[in-house]
Amino acid sequence: MVTGHSNRSCGLFVTGTDTGVGKTFVAACLAAILRSKGICVGVMKPVETGCGLSQGRRIPRDGLLLKRMAAAQDPIEQIVPYRLKAPLAPLVAARMEGIRIRPGRIEKAYERIRSSCSFMLVEGAGGVLVPVTDRLFMADLIARLALPALVVARAGLGTLNHTLLTVSFLQGRGIPVAGVILNDVDGKKDLSKKTNAALLRRLLPVPVLGQIPFRKGLSLQCSTRTGPWAHLAGRHVDFEALLRLAGAPR
């Protein structure tokens, strides 16, 4: 049993069917779009693993990208409360460093950021059943932060099962799902990429908001301008509908 906020927050928790499905890309696009609309957006990645070392500090590349795309003024220590070395599940990576992840610390950082912005954008790590602590899965963290979930899924073969399971699980936990975005992460020829979106629209009780094509040579970490991101995202995904569903200010 987990506790959470009494009221749903204005924002989204970007989760996925798996690791490597493009959650950071989608979250960064969302941050860029919100910023282009003049909306003050708060960003957060509660736990980031696989952080390299620079001048004695762990560098959370995803968290820094979100901060840059949102032009957020919050310190990176609040945006990414836990920055871990090993590219593993948060529970395992934290144990390897002798760190105990405390959900209360994450919630306090979240509240500090939320208090000074109009819309919260939080990116998870891995899928909804990735363990954060011995007693807390990523889905539990979504519930505690009281945000609707946006599910990012692969575009290709296998995504039907993964996406249906993820949405079903979240809804079974009482977590609202704002929608699903499919993302072509590998550019490989796959006939199912032409049929999955239409079939998921028939099978899912939530909207499939679009499918992002493979982006050859695009570097997330080298991007500094928000305009191209907002344009690219808007060409393939109905972000306007998503933001309406999430209650973004107009």
Q: Which residues are catalytic?
A: 45
Cα gap 46→94, rounded to integer Å: 13
pTM, entire model:
0.93
> E strands, the chain, where?
11-16, 41-44, 47-48, 52-54, 57-59, 82-83, 119-127, 149-154, 177-183, 208-212
Residue 2 has a pLDDT of 39
CA distances, 94 to each of 2, 11, 65, 161, 222 (Å): 21, 27, 22, 30, 28
Listed by start position, the domains of the chain span 11-245
The domain made up of 11-245 is a member of CATH 3.40.30.10 = no
Residue 239 has a pLDDT of 86
Mean pLDDT of the chain: 91
Give 206-245 pLDDT, tens digit per residue. Answer: 999 999 988 775 555 555 555 666 676 778 899 888 988 8
Reply yes or no on whether the pLDDT at 6 is more than 60.
Answer: no
Reported for 111-118, long-range contacts at CB under 8 A and 24+ positions apart, including other chains, are 112/74, 112/78, 113/42, 113/43, 113/44, 113/72, 113/74, 113/78, 113/79, 114/9, 114/11, 114/42, 116/40, 116/42, 116/74, 117/40, 117/41, 117/42, 118/10, 118/39, 118/40, 118/41, 118/248, 118/249
Cα gap 97→154, rounded to integer Å: 31
Give 38-75 pLDDT, tens digit per residue. Answer: 999 999 999 999 999 999 899 999 999 999 999 999 99
